[in-house]
A and B are shown apart, each in its own frame.
Chain A
Amino acid sequence: MERLRYILQDALVNIRRSRWGGLASIGTIAVSFVIVGIFLIITRNLGALVTEWKEQFQVTVFLEDGITPEQLALLKKRIESERAVKATTYTSKEEALQSFKRELRGKESLLEGLGENPIPASLQLRIHEAYQTPEALRQFTASLGRLEGVEDVLYGQEWVDRLAAAVRMLRLLGLSVGLALGMASLLIVSNTIRLAVYARAEEIEIMRLVGATKMHIRAPFLLEGMIQGGLGSGLALLLLFGAYRLTLWQLQLTPGQIFGVGVGSFLDPRWGGAMLLAGGGLGAFGSLISVGRFLRA
C-alpha cells in the first residue's frame, strides 16, 4: 500500500534527522549485546567442555597383583554386566609401567631403583552420564570395591560437578547482566525516540488535525526504533565475531585445538538470530513507550 511507502520514507527521514541520538542508541545496544554475547560464547564453550569431559569420564578399578586370568575374566564379565558401565579397557602392569615411563620422559632414572613393577593393572570403566551423579557413583564404586580381585577404585567426579555448577552460575550471571543492560538500552532508545517525537510535535499535531490515525503516527517511530535496535545487535555480532577471530589468531589456534577438544566455537547461529530479533524488539518497545506517552499527553 502507498501508506507503507510513506511510513518507510518518514522513518528514514527521521533517522537522518536524529543522527547523533540514533548513534547513541545503536552504540548502547551494541555494547549491551556484546557483553551478553561474550557470556553466551563462554558458557557455550564451557558447556561443551563439560559435556565432553562427562563423556570421557572414567572410573579406574585397580586390580590386586596376584589376580589370576580366570578371576580377571570373571571380574570383567561381572563389571561389564553393570548397567552403569558403558565400556571397559584393560591395562596390564607392563602397559601401565610403559605408559608411566613415557610420561616421565627424560626422568626415567627415577625408576631405576624400583626393582619390581609396583604399578597395578587396572580396568578403566566408561560410565553412562545418567550414573554420573555423586550418589550413584559413591554406591557403585563402593560395590565395586567389594568385588574379588579389586585393590582400589578411583574416580574424580567432584571437580566436573564443580565445573558444571560454575557454568550454571555463569549462565545465571549472564542472564542478569543481560537483563540489566537490556533495560538500560530500552531507556536510551526510549529517550532518543522521545526527542525525535518532540522534534516532530508540530507535524504530529497537524497530522492529527488532518485525520491521521494513532497507528499512522506511531509507525515511523516504531520502525526507527526497530532499525536502531537491529543495527545495534548486528554491530554487536560483528564485533563479537571479529574479537573471536582475533583471539584465535593471537593464540595461533584453530577452533578445534583449544583444550584438545572440539571446543572454541562461536555463537550458535540460532542465538545470533535471536540476538538480532531481540535488538529489533527492544528498539520497537522503547519507541512504543515514548510515542505512547506523547500521544496520551
Chain B
Amino acid sequence: MIQFFHVYKTFTRDVEALADINLHVQKGEFIFIAGPSGAGKTTLLRLLFRDELPTSGQILVNGRNVVKLRERAIPHLRRSIGVIFQDFKLLRDRSVFDNLALVYRVLGVPAAVGKRKVANLLKLVGLSHKAQMTPYRLSGGEQQRVAIARALMNDPVLLLADEPTGDLDADLAADVMRLLGDIHARGTTVVVATHDMNMVRDLGRRAIILKGGRIVEEHQ
C-alpha cells in the first residue's frame, strides 16, 4: 500500500525534515509513526497525500507513483485517502451533517445516496443524535469523531491520522483509538502519527520511531 524509497525532504534554508526514509506498509496494516514533536511525522503524512513533494526519493501509494503524479490526477488520488488532523479541520459555521455532506457534494454523488452514507457514518461514530449541531456545541472527542466520519465518507483504502488523540484526555483518546481499530478491522490501512509513546507501547501495534527526520527504531 505504501512504499517510501530513500525519501528526503528539505525545506528552505536547509531545514531537513526527513532523511533517507525507507518504509513499506502492507495493505490492511495498522502502523504508528511515533516520535517527538518536530521529528517529521506530519511531513511524512503530507507526502502521502501529495500536500508536499519530496526533495528526492520515490513514494508509491496504492500502486501509484505519487511523486510523478500530474497535478490533474491529485484530486483522484485524494479521493481514495481519508485524512484526520489534530485540529479536526471542521467547518465551524456548518452543522455536523453539512460537514460530512461536503464530501459527497465534491464527489458528485446523488443527494439521496450521500445522505444515507452520512447517516450510516454518524451511527458508526455514535453521533447520530447530534447531526444538526455545529462543532461549537461538541466536545473535543466528539469533534474528532466527526472528523473521522468525514474521512470515511469516500470509503478510503488508506486512512491517515495526524495526532488524532493530541488534545484529548485519556478516556476520549481511548475511544478514538478504539474507533480507528474498528475501521482497521474492516480492512482499511491505517497510519497514525503520534508523540504519545505510552499509547504506542500499550496498543502493541507495529510502530516506526522517527527522530530528527530519520527512522531510528521499528517495533512489530
Contacts and interface: CB of A to CB of B under 8 A. Distances in A.
Interface of A: 1-3, 6, 10, 202-203, 205-213, 216
Contacts of A10: 105
B2 to A, nearest CB: 18
B138 interface: no
Given A2-B108, A2-B110, A210 B91 contact: no
14 contacts: A2-B110, A3-B105, A3-B108, A6-B108, A202-B91, A208-B75, A208-B78, A209-B49, A209-B89, A210-B79, A211-B77, A211-B78, A211-B106, A213-B72
B107 interface: yes
B51 to A, nearest CB: 8
A207 B108 contact: no
Which 4 residue pairs are nearest across A and B when measured between Cβ atoms?
A211-B79, A211-B78, A3-B108, A211-B75
Interface in B70-102: 72, 75-79, 83, 89, 91, 102
Interface string B139-157: 0000000000010011000
Interface residues of B, number: 22
Contact of A212 (B49, B72, B106, B111): B106
A202 B89 CA distance: 8
B105 A6 contact: yes
Interface of B: 49, 72, 75-79, 83, 89, 91, 102-103, 105-111, 150, 153-154
B84 to A, nearest CB: 11
Given A211-B79, A211-B154, A212-B75, A2 B106 contact: no
Given A10-B105, A206-B91, A210-B102, 15 more contacts: A2-B108, A2-B109, A6-B105, A6-B108, A208-B75, A209-B78, A210-B78, A210-B103, A210-B106, A211-B75, A211-B77, A211-B79, A211-B106, A211-B154, A212-B75
Nearest to A5: B111
B91 A207 contact: no
A213 B70 CA distance: 13
A203 B102 contact: yes
A206 B102 contact: yes
Contacts of B75: 208, 211-213
B154 A210 contact: yes
A95 to B, nearest CB: 83
B148 to A, nearest CB: 14
A206 B103 CA distance: 9
Given A1-B108, A3-B108, A207 B78 contact: no
A211 B108 contact: no
Contacts of A6: 105, 108
A274 B111 CA distance: 37
A245 to B, nearest CB: 46
Contacts of B77: 211
Nearest to A1: B108
A207 B106 contact: yes
A296 to B, nearest CB: 12
A212 B75 CA distance: 6
A291 to B, nearest CB: 16
A223 to B, nearest CB: 15
A10, A203, A209, A216 pick with most chain B CB within 10 angstroms: A209
B85 to A, nearest CB: 9
Given A211-B76, A211-B79, A213-B75, A206 B89 contact: yes
Contacts of A211: 75-79, 106-107, 154
A123 B138 CA distance: 98
Contacts of A1: 108
A183 B191 CA distance: 51
B135 to A, nearest CB: 12
Contacts of B49: 209
Nearest to A209: B83
Contacts of A202: 89, 91
Contacts of B91: 202-203, 206
Nearest to B89: A206
